[in-house]
Structure formats: C-alpha cells, structure tokens
Chain A
Amino acid sequence: MSVLVPPGLLLVVGAALLAVLPRAARAAVSVLLPLLVVAYSATFLPDGTTVSYPFMQFSLELVRADRLSLLFGGIFCVTGALAALYASHEGDVRQQVAAMLYTAGAVGVSFAGDLLTLCFFWELLAIAGTVLVWSGGTRAATRAGKRYVLLHLAGGGLLLAGIALQVAHTGSIRFDAFDPAAPTLAAWLILAGFCLNAGVPPLHAWIPDAYPRATIAGSVFLAAMTTKSAVYALLRGFAGWDVLVTFGVVMALYGVFFAVLASDLRVLLSYHIISQVGYMVVGAGIGTALAVDASAAHAVNHLIYKGLLFMCAGAVIATTGRGSLADLGGLRSRQPLLLGLYMIGALSISGAPLWNGFVSKGMLLKSAGDLHRDWTVLLLGLASVGTFISVGLKLPYFVWFHGKSGIEPKPVPPPMLAAMVCAAFLCTLLGLFPGLLYPFLPHPTDYDPFTTTHVIEIVQLFVFSGFAFYILLPNLSAARKTLADVDFFYRAPARLVRKLFVGRVDAAFGTVQTVADRITDRLANALRDPTAWFAEGRRRGEDYDPDRSRPPLLSPLVVTIATFVGIAVALLAWQG
C-alpha cells in the first residue's frame, strides 16, 4: 500500500481548511493550493503510478496516473487557481469552499482508476456545483440550482446503475475503455451519465439554465469543470464510439445556433460551452491517437479561453451592473483593455491563427480528414463560423461598439484583471508555440497547425463570414428575451404537476376545511341552548317583550323529559 495522497483528496482537505481560515489566508490558499497540487502530481505521481486501497471485495484505485489523467488533473488545477485568483477579492467563504470542492471533484474524476471512485467525485462535482449556482443568491438562482441538482443526481443515478450492471457482469470495478464493437447495457447507461455532464442535447439544458445564474466568479468555475471532466471520462471510456461523432457535431451546431439568438452575456457563452465541448466529443468519437490528442488539447485550450471569456463577461457585469446586450454598448473607449482581453479569448475560441483554438481545432479537423469524414469537417467548419460571428463579432459589437449607452463603468478590480491577463497570456502562448503543450498530450505528436493551406482556409472563412455578418447585422437583436430550450419539456410539466398535485390538493383541503368549519359553527350555535328551540323568539327589529322573549316554563321540562327518554331508549337498545 502506498502512502501517496490522491490529489483530489488533498483539495477536499484544502476545502475543509478554507472553512476555518481568515479571509486573507483563504484567498491565498484558494490560489496556491491547486498550483501546489499540480507540482505534487508532477513530482510524486509519474505516468504509471497507482494508489489503491482494498474496499470490501474490490480494490479502490484512488489514483491512476497516466498521461491523460495527469493532463486533465493538471489543467483543472490551473483553471481552478486562475478562477480563484479572479474571485479572490470577494471573500465569500461559502463560495470559496464550494469552488475548492468543485475543483476537487474534477481532479478526483481525472485520477479515478475505478468506477466507484469516479462516481464519488462525480457526485461531489454535482453537489459543489449546486452550491456554486445557489451562491448567486437570487430566486432564479435558487430555482435553477434545484433543477441543476435534480438533473445531475439523475445523471449520477444512470451512472451508478451502469456501474452496478458492469460489476454484476464482469465482477470488476476498474474504469477501462468500453469496447465499441460490443456495447453492453452497462456501457450505454454509463455513457448516458457521462453525456448528461458533457451537455449532449437533449441533456444539455442545465448549462444555459444554471451557469448564468451563479455569481460572476461562480460561473467561471462552473464553465470549467463539469463538462470537461465528462470529456475526460468519454476519452478514457468511450474513445472510438462512433455515435459520439454524431453527438459532437450536433452539439457544436446546436450551441452556436442558440448563441446567435442569445442576448444575455453569460447565456450566450454558456451555449458556446456546448458547442466547444461538441468538438471534444467528436474527437473522442473518432478515437484515433491524433483525435484523442486533439480532443485533450482542445479541452486544455478551451478551459483557458472559456475561462477568459467568462471572466471578461463577469468583469463587464461587475463594472457596469448589466448583463444583457440590450443594456450595454459604447464601452469601447471606457474599457479598451477589457475589450482587448476579451478579443483574445474570442479569437482563441473561434480558432483564429496565432491563438490556441486554431491549433486544437486544426488538429481535430485533420484527424477527421485523415479518415475522410468529410461531413464532419464541413459541419464543424460551419460551427466555427457560428462561433466567430456570435462570440467574435456579435457580443463585442453590442457590448463595446453599438451606440452610446452613456454607462460609466467602475474600474476592474486588480485581482480580476490579473487573472484575465494570465489567461490571455496562456491563450497566446499556446497559440504561438503549440509545441509547448504537445509533450503533455496522451500521444506524442508533431502536428503543425501553421500550414499555408490551413491558415488560408481559416482566413477566407472568417473574412467572408465577417462580411456576411456585417450585411445581416440589422437582423440581429439584442433585445432581452427568454430562449425556450428543451428545459421547456420539464419546466412546463413541472408547473402542471405542481398545480395538479399541490395546488389542487391544497384547494380540496381548503374547501373541506371551510365546509367543516361552517357545519361546526352551525351545530355549535344550534346546540348551545336547546331551550331556545322552544322560545318563540324575538323577531329582528321588535322591542323586547318579557312575555314573548323569555322561554316558557314548558320548554325546560320538555328538554329534560326528552333527554331522559332518550337515555332510557339508548340503554334499552344497548341491553337488548
């Protein structure tokens, strides 16, 4: 048995520590601990290390370090540290603890060598993610968080059901690649659980529902961990499953389609998570060495540029107090630096040459092209166009250029700025020198993205889509709106079900209560004084007349006799 501590558990301990530390120390620990965990993993967990503990008749493999897990574990920590730096001036202890646990979940998933450990950290992601959504503090955040946790617990249930079947069939809990040639029910269930977290439509609606409701910093964390840990799980377990290529292409297009319509900054960016994760899912589906490399590299690049984009959107919201394109505009001269940082993220996500998205997208398209998957290449190209026009043109146009809104933004807090500069630096560094990332990819590669063909193709694609965008610009609306997505199919029935089973039952009980009260009232009034039944009574409006209003002598006699007769009859009936 090894004495090495799993990196995920180190972060869990860190989260416990955060709960008791003073504010200044908390900020430092949230940033430094994930970086220390990277150093620790790189030093003590070389490729091939395993840490396992016996558990019942199984062997829990808390750590299985190989190139894939080290890459994902490492990048989750780096992203967690950047996001923590971005959030460091806020000091909300609940959010800091939840964020650390959330990072721990993603790191734990990356190093999990068996399905039970995987499932444990999977659920940790779900729970910590829910707390992050709830940190938003609004009623919308509370309700979106409830939907988030219900969906993820359902996804975790699918996963656990698959694991139970898998253990029943094979007797092993090891997390290995599932054979695409012989898919079992267990594998399909586990795949469904992974797909929910990856945001494969129609299991994706929680992303644009929950992420925009979290706090500014919370959504930076959320945008990073859950979907990309699912990509890791797909790469590990389902590489080469052809169905994932279809899923991925659908995701890539579905996301941009909604993003073109979206008018809330973070809703727009959330739809782009789905789109970008689609590329990674395609890579997992193709499953060749280059495709897996491309998918992993795209995950790394995506974590950095998507983090940067969410940070910039958050900075806009933090400095102006507005999060909808409808209320923004004309900030170009007020926030030139923020615009520059945002554009680095936007060009990276679009896949423009010199930035990191260009490298991994090119790698992915090459892996698809090598197998003559022409439709995949064409449709992913269309998704790139959609990404460029929505994140690269539409959003910055409505935030920084369009009109003059006369907004006086507050200055961007320095920690936020520092985190954004770091992320923008990494986007550019990995875009200019992609070779820096290659040694860490699962399979050694010497892919060269900067071929004249590739560069010219992308330049033509973007320049002319830019022209078309300019011409069609008057058709794009920044008006506030709700986008109905497949969440309609569970949110609308939820109202109906609630109306039927809570509203109606409530109303029925209310009616019964009213009727019962009324009957009791009547009875009590009527039985209060039986002698009054025999009084002639005084009619309303009549003067008091002692002869008429006083009960006659007869009535108490009648009542007394009737009572005794009643008792006698009852006794006789009982005896007989």
Chain B
Amino acid sequence: MKLATPTGRETAIGAVVGVVTLALPLVFPTEDHFPWDGIPGFYAIYGAVGCAALVVVSKWVGRVLLVKPPDWWGEESDTDEDPA
C-alpha cells in the first residue's frame, strides 16, 4: 500500500479545511435524524473510511479477479481476422 506524502503547505491547507469543516456543526446547529447523528464528525469519518475502503477493496478485488490485460477479448484491433 503506497501512501502520498503531502508537502508542508498541503498539510497546512488540509488541516485548516478539515478543522473548519469539523467545526461547522458547532457554529450552525444541526438536527438529528439518524442513530449515528449523535456521533461528532460521523460524516467526516464515514467519508474518509468509505473512500479508503472503496479504493483498497476495489484494488484488491481488481488484482485478484477483475483487472485483465488491455484487449483481453481480442476485439480492439480492426485488422485481425476474426479469431472466435
């Protein structure tokens, strides 16, 4: 698993944006509809974990099962005689 290394400036911008985003519910009161609405920053956690899960799981399933070489079906070239 390779991870990006953000530069100092990127980290600073990210931290500011992240903190502001997390602080929004403190400034603007929100309502609770769902059981998870009581957890502070639930959507932030869900977004980050969900994104990580999608990338990691799809990459793994892709490597094991789904990703095949280009032109796996042998249909892309127009000059070939029909193989199948």
Interface residues on A, range: 35 or more
Tell me whether B73 and A482 are in contact (CB under 8 A). yes
Closest chain-B Cβ to A94's Cβ sits at a distance in Å of 19
| Cβ-defined contact, B2 with A475, below 8 A | yes
Point out the residues of chain B lying under 8 angstroms from A463, CB to CB.
Answer: 17-18, 21, 44, 47
Interface pair B67/A261, CB less than 8 Å apart: yes
Please give me the residue from chain B that is nearest to A502 by CB atom: B84
B5 to chain A: closest CB distance in Å?
Answer: 9
A378: chain B residues at CB < 8 Å are 36, 46
A495 within 8 A of B: yes
User: Known pairs A257-B58, A460-B41, A470-B14. 8 more at Cβ < 8 A?
Assistant: A139-B80, A261-B67, A385-B54, A456-B30, A464-B44, A469-B51, A472-B3, A484-B67
Q: When chains A and B are docked, how far (Å) is the Cα of A415 from the Cα of B53?
A: 41
B30: which A residues are within 8 A, CB to CB?
452-453, 456-457
Q: Verify B68–A481 contact, CB threshold 8 A.
A: yes
User: A260 and B55: CB pair below 8 A?
Assistant: yes
Chain A residues in 8 Å Cβ range of B22: 460
Count, chain B residues at interface, CB 8 A: 57
Q: Residues of B contacting A257 with CB < 8 Å?
A: 54, 57-58, 61
Q: Check B78–A483 contact: CB distance below 8 A.
A: no
A residues in contact with B43, CB < 8 Å = 381, 456-458, 460-461, 464
Whether B58 lies near A456 (C-beta < 8 A) is no
Residues of chain A lying within 8 A (CB to CB) of residue B10: 470
| Among A256, A389, A465: residue with most chain B CB under 10 A | A465
12 A-B pairs within 8 Å (CB atoms) are namely A140-B76, A369-B33, A381-B46, A386-B54, A451-B31, A460-B44, A466-B47, A468-B52, A472-B4, A475-B56, A484-B65, A495-B84
A482 and B68 contacting across the interface, CB-CB below 8 Å? yes
- A470 near B6 with CB under 8 A, answer yes
Q: Is the CB of A472 within 8 A of B52?
A: yes
Across the A-B interface, how many residue pairs have beta carbons closer than 8 Å?
A: 163
| B44 CB, min distance to chain A CBs, angstroms | 4
Mask of B9-38 contacts with A, CB within 8 angstroms, 1/0: 010001001100110110011110111100
The dominant DSSP class at the A interface is helix
Q: Which chain A residues lie closer than 8 Å to B28 at the CB level?
A: 452, 456
Assess whether A89 is interfacial by the CB under 8 Å rule: no
**A475-B1 contact, Cβ under 8 Å, with A452-B30, A460-B41, A484-B65:** yes
A484 to B62, CA, bound (A): 9
Listed in ascending order, the chain B residues whose CB lies under 8 Å from chain A are 1-4, 6, 10, 14, 17-18, 21-22, 24-25, 28-31, 33-36, 41, 43-59, 61-62, 65-73, 75-78, 80, 82, 84
Interface status of A459 (Cβ within 8 A of chain B): yes
Given contacts A139-B77, A474-B2, A480-B70, contact A461 B46 (CB under 8 A): yes
Q: How far is the CA of A539 from the CA of B40 in the complex (A)?
A: 105
- Rounded to whole angstroms, the CA-CA distance of A495 and B84 in the bound complex is 6
A494 in contact with B84 (CB, 8 Å): yes
Question: Which A residues are in CB contact (< 8 Å) with B72?
Answer: 482, 484
Per the bound structure, the CA–CA distance linking A382 and B67 in Å amounts to 23
Q: Is A150 an interface residue (CB 8 A)?
A: no
A473 at interface (Cβ–Cβ under 8 A)?
A: yes
Most B CB contacts (10 A, CB to CB) among A381, A453, A463 go to A463
A476 x B33 contact (CB < 8 A): no
Contact call A374/B34, Cβ cutoff below 8 A: yes
B-side contacts of A144, CB under 8 Å: 75
Question: Please, what's the 1-or-0 string for A479-514, where 1 marks a CB less than 8 Å from any CB in chain B?
Answer: 011111100000100110011000000000000000
Chain B residues contacting A485 (CB-CB under 8 Å) are: 66
B59 neighbours in A (Cβ, 8 Å): 260-261, 475-476
Residues in B whose Cβ lies below 8 Å from that of A172: none
Assess whether B75 is in contact with A143, with CB atoms less than 8 Å apart: yes
Which B residues lie within 8 Å of A484 (CB)?
65-68, 72
Q: Are A464 and B52 in contact (CB under 8 A)?
A: no
Does A260 lie within 8 Å of B58, measured CB to CB?
yes
Chain A residues lying within 8 Å of B6, measured Cβ to Cβ, are 470-471
Q: Given A456-B24, A470-B4, decide whether A483 and B51 contact each other with a Cβ distance below 8 A.
A: no
Q: Does A467 contact B (CB under 8 A)?
A: yes
Q: Is A138 positioned at the interface, with any CB of B under 8 Å from its CB?
A: yes
Binary interface profile of A, 421-461, with partner B (CB < 8 Å = 1, else 0)? 00000000000000000000000000000011100111111
- Nearest-neighbor residue (CB-CB) of B78 within chain A: A139
A469 to B78, CA, bound (A): 38
Decide if A377 is an interface residue (CB 8 Å cutoff).
yes
Contact between chains at A461 and B84 (CB < 8 Å)? no
Select the residue from B29, B50, B66 with max chain A CB neighbours within 10 A. B50
Interface membership of A462, Cβ < 8 A: yes
